[in-house]
Amino acid sequence: MPRVVAAWLRCYVMVNVVYFLTGGMWAYYVYLCWGHKFFSTGNMPAGKDMWEQIKVSSLSMPLYSMLPAVAEFCVEQGWTRAYSRISDVGVGWYLGYFVLYMTCVEFWVYWMHRGLHDVKFGYK
């Protein structure tokens, strides 16, 4: 199995584990334990609506799992640089690289998230 595929598979499995564990715990406490405090009578989301959101989230997970796998591939190819100390590049460059990195990550995550809202077959 190619390393990038193995990295994607590892990320995909962990995304599912984290999503279902944290989502399950959140739903248990918010809906079952404290639902009467958070929702007025009749305003708690229906089970059908929750399952719809789980389905759509599950459809997006393969795509979201690609982002770290591709990043890992780029690192392994030597297309990136990592600095363990700020003194290696100086404070100005370090802050500049940080701002550039965060801008790129936010740009791609925003457009990927927005694109996933257009997956019409995921919604009824």
pLDDT, residue 8, reads: 95
**Whole-angstrom distance, CA of residue 17 vs CA of residue 11:** 10
Confidence of residue 91 (pLDDT cuts 50, 70, 90): very high
Which of residues 111 and 117 earns the better pLDDT score?
A: 111
**Whole-angstrom distance, CA of residue 15 vs CA of residue 12:** 5
CA 108 to chain centre: 12
The answer to whether the CB of 3 falls within 8 A of the CB of 68 is: no
Q: Per-residue b/e over 49-69, b at no fewer than 16 CB within 10 Å?
A: eeeeeeeebeebeeebbbebb
pLDDT, residue 114, reads: 80
pLDDT, residue 83, reads: 78
pLDDT, residue 122, reads: 60
pLDDT, residue 69, reads: 92
Would you mind telling me the total number of residues written for the chain in this entry? 124
At 5-14, the pLDDT tens digits run 999 999 999 9
The pLDDT of 47-74, averaged and rounded, is 88
The answer to whether the CB of 58 falls within 8 A of the CB of 50 is: no
At 55-68, the pLDDT tens digits run 888 888 998 898 88
Q: Is the pTM of this model over 0.85?
A: no
Q: Per-residue b/e over 107-124, b at no fewer than 16 CB within 10 Å?
A: eeeeeeeeeeeeeeebee
Q: Taking the CA of residue 107 as centre, how many other CA atoms within 13 Å lie in the half-sphere pointing to its CB?
A: 6
